[in-house]
Amino acid sequence: RCSVDNRVTRVAWLNRSSILYAGNDKWCLDPRVVLLANTKTQYSIQIQDVDVYDEGPYTCSVQTDNHPKTSRVHLIVQVSPKIIEISPDISINEGGNVSLTCIATGRPDPTITWRHISPKAVGFISEDEYLEITGITREQSGEYECSASNDVSAPVVQRVKVTVNYPPYISDAKSTGVPVGQKGILLCEASAVPSADFQWYKDDKRLAEGQKGLKVENKPFFSRLTFFNVSEQDYGNYTCVASNQLGNTNASMILYGE
């Protein structure tokens, strides 16, 4: 907007050195620029669908009986943040190094932060486009969120999933006492990524699924060995072996009578 009074005889709007309007006459070819008002008190133009290229100085030039007068306004164009590049989901072995990248555009330049989406997370772990994790641990697996903000609009966020692979670790394997003729269960719990495969042995002999009187149930984090009707021959030492492509581990337990 440009305020004028009745002493003004001629008016024009310029963008840098280009004339946009002189009086009611349009001098620029851009259809987005329109004349809003040319009255005794106001000379106003409107730029529709503003673009970053519209940023810069605009000059209202007026001619009075005495001398020309100009007033200048600087248009600052703001752009909401937008994430244009982010690392894909990644799978890595424990102890490896991870580099995550998050590139965003916006005006003013957005601030980029990374945080680990986990119950133990406290605040940001990086206030930069790049997140470097050296010697990653299994506790550092999960989702990492990149946030880009510049106060023009709400921050934009995207997530990257980091899977940390590690060999099996048997967390629970207890010996069990069961009377003859009763149902008995041996349980072997193991954490591993990828999930562990389980095998059972009695002494050095592998137990097969479907063996008479026995049932083996394998789940991603545990294996259950069930005896439907315990006999004297069932008592003894059993070994659970948990393995994945990164390694294996075993634990022994005893099925005993009262």
Work out whether strand 156-173 and strand 90-93 pair parallel, antiparallel, or are unpaired: parallel
> What value does the mean pLDDT of the chain take?
92
pLDDT (tens digit per residue) in 190-228: 999 999 999 999 988 998 777 788 999 999 999 999 999
pLDDT above 90 for 19: yes
pLDDT above 90 for 7: no
pLDDT above 70 for 25: yes
pLDDT (tens digit per residue) in 89-119: 999 999 999 999 999 999 999 999 999 997 7
> Following DSSP, what letter does each residue of 120-167 receive, concatenated?
T--S-SBSSSEEEESS--GGG-EEEEEEEE-SSSSPEEEEEEEEEEEE
What the chain holds in terms of domains, given with CATH numbers, is: 2-75 (2.60.40.10), 80-166 (2.60.40.10), 175-256 (2.60.40.10)
List CB contacts of 26: < 8 A, sequence separation 6 or more: 20, 33, 35
The mean pLDDT value for 18-39 works out to: 95
Entry pTM: 0.75
Write the CA distances from 7 to 25, 43, 59, 71, 195, integer angstroms: 20, 14, 19, 16, 85
- Supply the pLDDT for residue 135: 94
- Supply the pLDDT for residue 67: 83
In the three-class reduction of DSSP (H, G, I as helix; E, B as strand; rest coil), residue 234 is classed as helix
Band of the pLDDT at 29, cuts 50, 70, 90? Answer: very high
pLDDT above 70 for 122: no
- Supply the pLDDT for residue 98: 95
Q: Cis bond leading into 68, ω under 30°?
A: no
pLDDT (tens digit per residue) in 152-177: 999 999 999 999 999 999 999 999 99
- Supply the pLDDT for residue 163: 95
- Supply the pLDDT for residue 82: 96
The mean pLDDT value for 178-195 works out to: 94
Percent with pLDDT over 70 in the chain: 98
The mean pLDDT value for 113-138 works out to: 86
